[in-house]
Amino acid sequence: MVAWRAVNPATGEEGEEIHATPLEAVDPMMQKAKIASTRWKQTPVAERLTYLRRIRYYMTEHFEECAELIVQATGKPLVEAATHELFIVADAIKHMEDCAVRTLKTRKAKTPLTLFGKQSTISYHPRGVVLVIAPWNFPFQLAMIPALSALTAGNSVIVKPSEVTPTVGNLMERIFAAAGLPEGLVQIAHGDGTLGAALIEAKPDYIFFTGSVQTGARIQQEAAKRLIPTTLELGGKDPMIVFADANLERAVRGAVWGSLANSGQACISVERIYVERPVYADFTARLKQEVSRLRQNGTEDTDLGSMTFSKQVDIVSDHVRHALEEGAELECGLHPEQWRLTQGLQVQPIVLTQVNPQMKVMREETFGPVMNVMPFDHEAEAIELANDSSFGLNASVWSRDLNKAHRVADLLECGGVCINDVMVTIANPYLPFGGIKQSGIGRYHGEEGLTLFCHQKAVVLDRGTKPAEVNWFPYAGKYPVFGRLIKSWYGSRRSLFGFIRAYLELMRKSK
For residues 165 and 141, the answer to whether their CB atoms sit within 8 Å is no
Look at residue 1 and tell me whether its pLDDT is greater than 80. Answer: no
Q: Greater confidence, 343 or 505?
A: 505
Same domain, 13 and 155: yes
Same domain, 177 and 134: yes
- pLDDT tens digit sequence for 102-113: 999 999 999 999
Q: Within a domain: residue 387? A: yes
Distance CA 116, CA 103 (A): 28
Same domain, 422 and 352: yes
Look at residue 510 and tell me whether its pLDDT is greater than 80. Answer: yes
- What is the average pLDDT across 237-263? 99
Distance CA 111, CA 118 (A): 7
Confidence of residue 342 (pLDDT cuts 50, 70, 90): confident
- pLDDT tens digit sequence for 87-141: 999 999 999 999 999 999 999 999 999 999 999 999 999 999 999 999 999 999 9
Distance CA 23, CA 331 (A): 49
Out of 80, 85, 163, 233, the active site residue is 233
Task: Check which CATH number belongs to the domain holding 272 and give it.
Answer: 3.40.309.10
Same domain, 184 and 230: yes
Q: Within a domain: residue 319? A: yes
Same domain, 311 and 422: yes
Q: How many helices (H) and strands (E) does the chain have?
A: 18, 20
Distance CA 28, CA 255 (A): 48
Out of 66, 267, 332, 454, the active site residue is 267
Same domain, 220 and 260: no
Same domain, 223 and 330: no
User: Would residue 233 show up in a list of annotated catalytic residues for this protein?
Assistant: yes
Same domain, 360 and 274: yes
For residues 247 and 400, the answer to whether their CB atoms sit within 8 Å is yes
Burial 102-141 (b: 16+ CB within 10 A, else e): ebbeeeeeeeeeeeeeeeeeeebebbbbbbbbbbbbbbbb
Q: Within a domain: residue 510? A: no
Same domain, 409 and 499: no
Total domains, the chain: 3
Look at residue 85 and tell me whether its pLDDT is greater than 80. Answer: yes
Nearest to 412 by CA among 388, 433, 429, 430: 388
- pLDDT tens digit sequence for 409-433: 999 999 999 999 999 999 999 999 9
Task: Check which CATH number belongs to the domain holding 215 and give it.
Answer: 3.40.605.10
Q: Within a domain: residue 438? A: no
Q: Within a domain: residue 441? A: no
Same domain, 41 and 68: yes
Same domain, 86 and 224: yes
- pLDDT tens digit sequence for 264-298: 999 999 999 999 999 999 999 999 999 999 999 88
Domain containing 58 equals 3-109+124-234+446-455
Q: What is the total residue count of the chain? A: 511
Q: Within a domain: residue 436? A: no
Confidence of residue 299 (pLDDT cuts 50, 70, 90): confident
Look at residue 511 and tell me whether its pLDDT is greater than 90. Answer: no
Does the pTM exceed 0.95? yes
Q: Within a domain: residue 114? A: no
Q: Within a domain: residue 162? A: yes
Same domain, 360 and 412: yes
Distance CA 456, CA 216 (A): 25
Give the strands of the sheet with 107-109, arranged side by side: 107-109, 118-126, 454-462
